[in-house]
């Protein structure tokens, strides 16, 4: 049971870093597309 305790306290820093970078990239891409649509005057 000590193995389960040590695994539950393990925090993968590399995975969280990649996940945060991925989320930031998606937000920037969506933001750029949104502003392109606004500059073209496209309304949904």
The pLDDT assigned to 12 comes to: 80
The model's pLDDT over 14-41, given as tens digits with 9 standing for 90+, comes to 899 999 999 999 999 999 999 998 898 8
End-to-end CA distance of the chain: 56
Q: Does 8 have pLDDT greater than 80?
A: no
For residue 11, what are its two tokens? 């925090």
The pLDDT assigned to 42 comes to: 66
Distances (CA, A) of 7 to 1, 2, 4, 28, 34: 10, 9, 5, 34, 41
Taking the CA atoms of residue 26, residue 31, residue 37 and residue 43 in that order, the dihedral angle to the nearest 10 degrees is 100
What would you report as the CA-atom Rg of the chain, rounded to the nearest whole angstrom?
A: 19
């Amino acid at each position: 049971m000590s193995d389960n305790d040590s695994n539950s306290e393990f925090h993968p820093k590399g995975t969280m870093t990649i996940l945060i970078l991925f989320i930031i990239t998606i937000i920037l891409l969506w933001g750029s597309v949104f502003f392109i649509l606004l500059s073209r005057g496209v309304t949904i």
